[in-house]
Structure 1
């Protein structure tokens, strides 16, 4: 039974990671048509350095993802503090309303945002992309940070205030350091949601300003080239490095309550 469970787990991991490994490997294949036998070459990374369209769209995606992570994490953390530590009328309803934006298909959300932004005069472009990505990322941040709050004892702040600390100082000196791993994880989550977002970006991007997922979609329609494999590999390695850094310093799963 244990052997069967290990085989099942290995099969799932192989199913998830084999396409990614193949994509990364084909970025180093000499053939532009992915022909075999495999011939190692870095020609597509050299070609990528001269592809200003892909590089520009990739940089746009990173800039928007960083801004989204900062804004969504800030707003989501504040909202999570209010929902976790304050009692007010309508709190349960607000917590419930966080779930529909995650469950609603992004196609419907993108259409609604496009209509609303056009009607309100916001329009399309970088500012619209940031607003849309932040709106999508905030529910994830609230859920992640809210889960982190449940692992922290509420009486720690009370103990600090009983020793003369102010409520604000107690929060920043006691609760916030314990909550930092969850905040960091939420920021990485928001960054990943923004970087991977296609539907909202497709609706809100302009011809002169687009993101990497939209540009990759457009490039595939015209003809797929291994340059896309190259830039996807670079972004993938960067994302994996960020996750490893988070796992190294945040140490998820550990009890962070001081005893």
Structure 2
């Protein structure tokens, strides 16, 4: 009886936590389909705000810019992160453990601090603000996610497979392309999806590093909320959350934290 009560209590507690996390999102998504601009009830279903959103050139331009920046960030961070993960897996060198530990602080450090530090650094080296600075900043934030995800996949890799391929005459490039990469591909895909999600949703670093006329979608949403909230923000926010959740779920499906799929 005691164990049964604890099991039920645990499930209820879990449901309450999930409700606390997702209820605001569901309410926002529902209000994006409400015909009333002032959220009047009873609820009247309408796609009015999505139709208006489709004709808002400013939001669409910001969304396209965010997609392009996120795509560039994903390509760069995935390539660099995968190469770093393979190097950390294959080679032992002085300071390797310290380097692996230093991958985690960028994930834990508040993005406000990271954005301020990047802004000061980029101006000190002459890069300044703009799209290149935003991409570099996003890559710096996304790299740890890629390295951790790919490294987790590599942790279950049997180095004897590479040795067997070399013993059969395969060179280093062939071993990497035909043996190592196919094995770690789920981790690479998961890391790339994490990188895209981190970049696409990034607000703080984009706010600090983007030029006034080249704002990303999260920055534009923040600006629009300050000027006056409209249900179009609910619509675009619902789309962003849907994309982000889908990417994270797909990434979780592929990564499985280094385990078998």
Same structural fold, with TM-score higher than 0.5 when normalized by the shorter chain: yes
2:40 alignment partner, one of 25, 29, 35: 35
The aligned residue for residue 45 of structure 1 is 50
Measured against aligned partners, the alpha-carbon deviations of 1:80-132 in whole angstroms (never above 9, x if no partner) come to: 11111111222122112212222222111111111111121111111110010
Cα 1:14–1:170 change in 2 (3 A) is same
Q: Name the Cα RMSD after superposition.
A: 1.9
Return the offset for 1:236.
2.9
For the residue of structure 2 that corresponds to 1:252, the secondary structure is helix
Q: Give the length in aligned residue pairs.
A: 256
Does the aligned pair in 2 maintain the 1:124–1:204 contact within 8 Å? Answer: yes
- Counterparts of 1:179 and 1:78 in 2: how far apart (Å)? 12
Return the offset for 1:4.
1.8
2:256 alignment partner, one of 231, 238, 252: 252
Return the offset for 1:229.
1.2
Normalised TM-score (structure 2) = 0.91
Measured against aligned partners, the alpha-carbon deviations of 1:204-236 in whole angstroms (never above 9, x if no partner) come to: 111110011111111111111110111122233
For the residue of structure 1 that corresponds to 2:94, the secondary structure is coil
- Counterparts of 1:237 and 1:222 in 2: how far apart (Å)? 25
Cα 1:67–1:170 change in 2 (3 A) is same
The aligned residue for residue 173 of structure 1 is 178
Cα 1:97–1:11 change in 2 (3 A) is same
- Counterparts of 2:167 and 2:10 in 1: how far apart (Å)? 51
Cα 1:24–1:110 change in 2 (3 A) is same
Measured against aligned partners, the alpha-carbon deviations of 1:44-88 in whole angstroms (never above 9, x if no partner) come to: 011111211111111111111111111101101101111111112
1:133 alignment partner, one of 104, 118, 138: 138
- Counterparts of 2:145 and 2:248 in 1: how far apart (Å)? 17
The aligned residue for residue 73 of structure 2 is 68
Cα 1:98–1:246 change in 2 (3 A) is closer
In the TM superposition, 1:26-175 aligns within 5 A as 26-175=31-180
Return the offset for 1:240.
4.0
The aligned residue for residue 211 of structure 2 is 206
- Counterparts of 2:165 and 2:50 in 1: how far apart (Å)? 55
Return the offset for 1:256.
4.2
- Counterparts of 1:165 and 1:181 in 2: how far apart (Å)? 23
- Counterparts of 1:198 and 1:245 in 2: how far apart (Å)? 22
Does the aligned pair in 2 maintain the 1:178–1:256 contact within 8 Å? Answer: no
**5+ long unaligned stretches in structure 2:** 1-5
Does the aligned pair in 1 maintain the 2:82–2:150 contact within 8 Å? Answer: yes
Cα 1:110–1:242 change in 2 (3 A) is closer
- Counterparts of 2:225 and 2:103 in 1: how far apart (Å)? 35
